[in-house]
Structure 1
Amino acid sequence: MKAMSKYKNSVFYRLILSYTLMTVILISLAGGYLYSRANELMIEEISKDSQQRLQAVKDYMENTMLSRFENHVQNISMSTGFASNSVNLNYLLDNSWQNNLSRIALFSKGMELYALTSEGVHNTTVYLINGNYAIDKTSFYMEPENSTDYAFIEQLNPDYHDRWITRQLSDGQQVLTYVLKLPYNQPSAKPKGYIYIDVTVDHLRESISQIVTSPHEKLYIFSKQEEIILTTGEVEQGDEEQVRKALASSAASDGVHTMTQGNAVFSHLNAQYSGLDWSYAVMRPINTFSLSSERFKSNIFVICGIVLVLGFVISYLFSKQFYMPMKKLIQMVRTYYMPNQQQMSGNEYAFIGNAFNVMGEKINHLQTSAKKIEMKNLVLGANLNLEHTGSFPEHTRFIAAYIYMHDGQTTQFQQQYELKPSGHMQEVVCLNAQEAALIYYVASDEDMHAEQQLANELAQFRTTHAGSISFSASIGTIVATSDEIPISYQYAQHAYRYRFIYGKEAIIAYSDITKLEATPYLIAFDQYVNALKAGELEHVNKFLDEFSCRLQSGNRQLEAIELSVLQLVSSLYQAVIDMQLQKIVPPSNLFDEMKKESLEETIQSVRSHSERIVAHVKETSSHAHTDIIMELKQYIDEHLHEDLSLNVLSERASLAPAYISTLFGEVMKESFTEYVTRSRLDKAAQLLQSEPRISVAEISALVGYRNPQYFHNKFKARFGITPVQYRNVSKKASGVQ
């Protein structure tokens, strides 16, 4: 306590206290004076400018814009510029529409031409009382009830004559409508009809906005009933209520009345100065108005100069007493911070600044490292409830994306991705040299399109950096909390497995793969095996092309695709075993095909092995009667519906039936009976899929079985299910696709 009392009684403490109090008093007095004078001058400037602005708006609105539309309507009614239309109109006032359709069409064409040449005109309509019909620029209504404007036509009466009315059309369009009684310029005559023009409020607002120089100004035009006709600028919530309060306060004044309302200046032009009984008001924020008074600058310079001199004198006296404590502070800093020779240059303030900069860099480095570790743990599901995970924005959802760098450039990807412009918060987390995670922040109103937006941004980024960065990506699901980010990341990793189908450059969304079906394909791999055994390369390639096309264009999950590929490789392995070609194509090489990165590469490798097998079959097939057996095979394929036997083939080939049987087994690697049975059943399976209207009994006859029950048994023995069940399974698979 004694030390504290001694410190308070020191010259250093008293000097600081006196300087602080004096500075506060001087600045408060000077600031208060300048602030009050600035407000007074500003309000005066705004008041003068607002008076001129409101008068200009009124004159432009009533005497230029609306007057132009009024003159056009009057011209349609009676001027010589529209003589033909005027004649048609005067004639139609006294006659019905029967036998006058050509006049009506001519008059409607004139109104359409007027609408095209008059900017801002939404529509022009004529209602004729005697004939009870209406005409506008595009349509003729024999019964006005058919018009979308019938509700307004019903209200037309002499009170609407020669005046502007604010209303909303059936399509939601806000318009000002000007009505004239027909015949025009005959006040005492009973009305025979009405003509009115609709001018869009948007057009008037756009034209008036050219007079308002500042986007922060808000101009209001009120009708006689104090309804808002139009406004300019962006009207925020509560602005209209504030304007109406100011309008009520200044309603009793004459001319232009100006008053301050919060942080804005409100100016109001009374309705008595308007030919339409409209009132005009403008609200201008004070902080957007720059003063032009030069005389005020001299006062600022003088007062600032006085404060500067006083501050300089007091600072000089104060600094003499302050140096010793600063010297002690510098000695204390040296014990913790040893700068190099370059950092030693400069004064004591520079030395202390360098020390704080070094400490700040170390703190930032530690915070950055901690944040990286924390975000990595969060993505991998090891959240330790550290500080960063609790600082996510409120009411935000998240999507995690898995990024795989083909060249191991995750750090470069992070740097470039964070530099790109984006309308969303995103965070890149480097997991290792090749893998990274992207956390995408989603607002609650963007859930439906968030995944597609992220996919588009990743695709655009890859296109922009195509020469320097190569990666593939997958996108998880939207999760509601940061604790669920690991779940979204796991879904993204699961979706990344589908690069086997879509290619390693694909960007895959988990929501897309959830729509895929798990039903496996029904594929007749025997055709492929038989083509290999027969050495028919064209048929082998055709089968592989159709197989690849079906898998890539289908709607199946990865497991179903992998199953089909496994069946293909197994079929190839079966052919190798049956033909005893293990030395040419080792079985271990075949099952390595499942380890390819993409379906396309797997098919290509299978094709390569198939070509080797076909080439070997052709090289070793030197039998003298191979061509004869192949011709007989073609005959069998074309006559499956007929009775086939070795005797029939013997007659065609002029060879003994037993010899043909031997040759057939050597060339085709299966007996004549096995080949005929398999071919007939394969064709039956094809017809069951492609011809749903043909009965099973008819298909049995088409493939050479006269006994449907015998066909039924043979089919079930080969495919494991009955023909009817096979057709139903095929229909279901086709429907899923």
Structure 2
Amino acid sequence: MDVLYETFNCIVSLSSSRTIDIVINDDRIDYDMIIRTIHRLIIEKSLINIYFCGETDNISQIGKLHEQSVDLIKYSYIYGFDNTFRASELIEVEMDNSLIDSKQIERIENALMNNNQTQFCDECNLMLTSVKRDNHSFSYAQSVVVSILSILCRTAKKFDISISEDAAFKKIVDNNFFDGSTVYLFELSDRIFKELSDKMSIQSEDRRYSLITDIKEYIREHITEDISLASVAQQFNISAGYLSKFFKENTDESFSKYMIEQKFTYASEALIKFPNRSITDIANELGYFDSAYFSRQFKAHYGVTPVQYRKMNH
């Protein structure tokens, strides 16, 4: 046990587990000296517990001393003397604090919505570091943490990520040390980012499937029109190069091959549905103005000529 302050009627010592022991032998004690000693220990030793004992009968005096000591711990976050406040000083200190930077909050939220964990951590660290650097009070520090926590909770709710908001806020509010609050904040953000990545991956797959489905449907519905890779890309507000690559990656066939397949699918259906239409007319409708070439391509696709195909299906 490390004795830090001792008189004939009071002993202040530091025991294990970051606990201070105060033994009071009678009522004649120097309260200010004890408070200053506790104050110093909070800063130097990250004090978290105070234990009072003694033979004095003056319970009210011990209670007052205990209350003052707890205030020192409650409103401190262990970064130096200027960052340690008594409850009575807190309101005055808070009046001098600057407002939370709304633009920085917006950048944090954008990073989260874009699933950019690196940017999120960088922006949060900038904000949290400024709390220490500018000697803000514990209350202000916690308000910064709560602001970031609110963003995390809103994002979790938007993406249907299950977290207990009440428990999360209680964890922050009940934590009397700024470092503890920030550690919990980043632990929670890690979990949200992991689930966010999984959900965005699934949503991305859904978007890809939806886009491919829409592109294929558009080609089928406009197959007799003068459409091309460029015109379809323009229809979907993407570049021709991206469409070509995207289509190949998601269908395992080229855009041009799919176009040809759809043309001959249309031709085969038209040959049966409209038995009186000429093969030349059907070929021209699909952009083939050489009927002989069209017939050769049709045979390469189905193994028979258009005339033979029509006869086989009537």
| Superposed pair shares fold, TM > 0.5 | no
TM-score range, shorter chain: 0.3 to 0.5
TM-score of the pair, normalised by structure 1: 0.21
Bigger radius of gyration among the two: 1
Structure with the larger strand share:
1
